[in-house]
Amino acid sequence: MEIRQLAEQEPFTTKDGSTIRSILDCANAPVEKQSLAEATVPSGGATERHYHKLSEEFYFVLEGAGRMEIDGKTREVGVGDAVLIPAGAWHQITAERELRFLCCCAPPYSHEDIFFE
């Protein structure tokens, strides 16, 4: 059985500019097919526009509000919204109010699977 406490996970900044705390991934558990992390983007901040060749992602917004852009289409997002980001889709999230969201990736997130313009 693997159980991880969010508060015990060390934050780090990803290549796209968001602050992440990995909850369950290949680095801290015997994960094979997915990963779960908490991401934060400060008010007025944004991730760098990017895509993942392999990973499909879900974002689930826990706090804040912002705009989600996927392949040139933009929508407002807020608490309770779940977003599907298909593998290969260019995307960027911008925080109007500090955003805190869960990020699920399948296969698991890896730094090698992030590509920029």
Instruction: Please name each of the domains of the chain with its CATH number.
Output: 10-116 (2.60.120.10)
CA–CA distance, 57 with 90 (Å, rounded to integer): 12
Tell me, letter by letter, the H, E, C secondary structure of 65-88: EEEEEECCEEEEEECCCEEEECCC
Q: Kindly calculate the radius of gyration of the chain based on its CA atoms and give it in whole angstroms.
A: 13
**Contact call for residues 99 and 75 (beta carbons, < 8 A):** no
Residues of the chain with pLDDT under 50: none
The pLDDT score that the predictor gives to residue 117 is 83
The pLDDT score that the predictor gives to residue 70 is 98
